[in-house]
A and B are shown apart, each in its own frame.
Chain A
């Protein structure tokens, strides 16, 4: 059995190449919304935090750290997507 670390590193490598390829010839007006949209995706830490809080039964330090992580990551996710949407909505109005 190949160790899990090897699979995970494979995934990492391919995702990095994909990330490089995805961002190509982006017009300057989209730089800020794209940055903001990508930032919202980095709130994916929320999934890791949810898993951690769910796995710990005792209300010990790990659990409270996990709950704080859930709250902060939720700010990142919810705020990030909403603010990106607001930026892009503004764009449409200007063009139309």
Chain B
């Protein structure tokens, strides 16, 4: 049975690759999305066929998430689709964070697994809050103007150092969850801090980049739970998302760093 499940994952990976390829050209795009969704169905059914699974809670979780997702996708206004994608992306990010946290087993995890758990929590967390801020800016629930304050770069630098430090501390003594909570908190904070200085008009590029991150988070979660299909699909999305972000920047005649740090640039122009 285990072999059959692994082969089903191979089929599903092939469907994702084929689907992504077809999504890239207008004539086949809709079929490509369909093929990719069949790939997802194959992977989920295969995962459910693992032996000794308790279905009750899985089905409850899938039912709740499925209904919420379907209603959101059906009811959203045509003009509000990009921010809806941001919300979906955010829920993918928090899912990776939760998988990373749930996979933690201090007695049995090796260092490699611990590092991948921290990565899936870190990337998943910043994807989650970053996507929420992107959603807020696009839907005008928060000001879409770049939000700047004095010493912002210093604060961001301190957060990055804090994340790295607490991640190392956690990997050295995984039995104590305190450092893990610090990593979670700082990752969530970092997602907010990374997106608030960017203007609302640049949000599509930011969402594309965050989409790439959520792929990488899924990939890290795949390493944490030792699952091939998460690694394949996650890294496909991660790489495709980065390239797509680049293409979107090029279409606007700008560089990625120009978009990400545009707020800082405009702040400097204002002061001089």
Contact = CB atoms under 8 A, between A and B. Distances in A.
Interface of A: 4-5, 8, 11-12, 15-20, 22-54, 56-57, 62-63, 65-92, 95
Given A23-B247, A70-B65, A83 B84 contact: yes
B201 interface: no
A8 B226 CA distance: 8
Given A37-B32, A67-B60, A81 B37 contact: yes
Given A30-B24, A35-B207, A47-B229, A19 B238 contact: yes
A36 B24 CA distance: 12
B149 interface: no
A51 B98 contact: no
Interface of B: 16-17, 19-21, 23-26, 29-30, 32-34, 36-37, 39-40, 43-44, 46-48, 50, 52-54, 57-58, 60-62, 64-66, 68-70, 72-74, 76, 78, 81-82, 84-85, 87-89, 91-92, 94-96, 98-99, 101-105, 112, 204, 207-208, 211, 214-215, 217-219, 221-244, 247-248, 251
* Residue from A27, A28, A41, A53 having most chain B Cβ neighbours under 10 A: A41
A83 B24 contact: no
B40 A77 contact: yes
Contacts of A52: 99, 102-103, 225
A38 B211 contact: yes
A91 B73 contact: no
B54 A54 contact: yes
Contacts of B50: 51, 54
B121 to A, nearest CB: 11
A22 B92 contact: no
Contacts of B240: 19-20, 22-23, 34, 38
Nearest to B13: A15
A72 B247 CA distance: 29
* Residue from A15, A25, A67 having most chain B Cβ neighbours under 10 A: A15
A48 B238 contact: no
Contacts of A37: 19-20, 23, 29, 32-33, 36
A23 B24 contact: yes
B19 to A, nearest CB: 7
Contacts of A34: 23-24, 29, 240, 244
Given A33-B23, A51-B50, A12 B235 contact: yes
B247 A42 contact: no
A54 B52 contact: yes
B40 A41 contact: yes
B229 A44 contact: yes
A51 B103 CA distance: 10
Nearest to B112: A5
